[in-house]
Amino acid sequence: MSKEIKTIGVLTSGGDAPGMNAAIRAVVRRGISQGKKVVGIKRGYMGLLAGEIVEMRSHDVSEIIERGGTILQTARCAEFETVEGQEAGAKMCRELGIDGIIVIGGDGSFRGAQKLAALGINTIGVPGTIDLDIACTDYTIGFDTAVNTAMEAIDKVRDTSTSHERCSIIEVMGRNAGYIAMWCGIANGAEDILLPEKYDYDEQKLVNHISDNRKRGKKHHIIINAEGIGHSVSMAKRIEAATGMETRATILGHMQRGGSPSCKDRVYASIMGAYAVDLLCQGKSNRVVVHSKGDFTDFDINDALLMTKEISEYQFEIYKSFAM
């Protein structure tokens, strides 16, 4: 017989992502509509261990769907990576009367959810990360907003780069995944994209490409550099020395995590949050909500964490055919 869920906890963990508030709102309102009590857990697993919870009613999530960040705050918690921390978290759930938890975050957050599930706390994961690096899903909350933020910033850098006939290296976020870089590279018409999954660290190829383009009369050169490669400032100095072309590095940084979420992030996050509540109400546990092949479904967290994700070879080949 499945465990009856009376109280649902919701937390955000790891890096924040635009659309997390939409997911929180969905969890609260869907949960209440199903007759459940919903509590917010502050500061992720750190807040769970400290017992930082607050009951959330419908009006508590009014006018948050359009806000970036997370009203519950978020943090990374090294203690929760230990067996002792995980057991303490499960014990705290029982003491607080939390029957199930919805965890909004990335792979690291799901590992914590996996451990809680193994300790008898029903858990559902909702993918919230701008990096798009969760293998079991085609969509993660925040990616759409982040990539549009980066795209708009790169457009502006291109304007001034063209005016001054410069080479611009623009570093985007994504940790060790190159999805923001790939999408921006195509959307912004970059001459070169450096992806952790593909880059061979042969800067002479970049130098040759810049030199060849200048001979053809091109006045600027845009290089999108993924965070997983980094070192954009020192790279710019080396390229300027090798080509004689003024080269500037721009690191977009955490602006990509902020801002009002896009329509897609608001809608998809809302659906995923509601879906997570429905799974808990069905007695499910150790599942992650995903968007795959055009629809919303769910995966076993154990299986999801074993999966790997690669850059599309076809998309990468398309970029290369455009990069002239």
For the annotated catalytic residues, the residue numbers are 131
Spell out the residues 6+ positions from residue 19 whose beta carbon is closer than 8 angstroms to its own.
128, 141, 142, 144, 145, 261, 262, 265, 266, 268, 269
Spell out the residues 6+ positions from residue 214 whose beta carbon is closer than 8 angstroms to its own.
243, 245
DSSP of 160-178? HHHHTT-EEEEEE--TT--
Six token digits for residue 278: 């429905």
- Among 150, 160, 145, 103, smallest CA distance to 127 is for 103
d(CA 70, CA 74) in angstroms, rounded, equals 7
d(CA 96, CA 51) in angstroms, rounded, equals 8
Compute the Cα dihedral for 276, 277, 280, 284 and give only its sign. negative
125, 109 in Cβ contact below 8 A?
Answer: yes
Burial class (CB in 10 A: 0-12, 13-18, 19+), 295: exposed
What SS3 state is found at 218? coil
d(CA 130, CA 174) in angstroms, rounded, equals 7
What SS3 state is found at 101? strand
Burial 157-185 (b: 16+ CB within 10 A, else e): bbeebeeeebbbbbbbbbbebbbbbbbbb
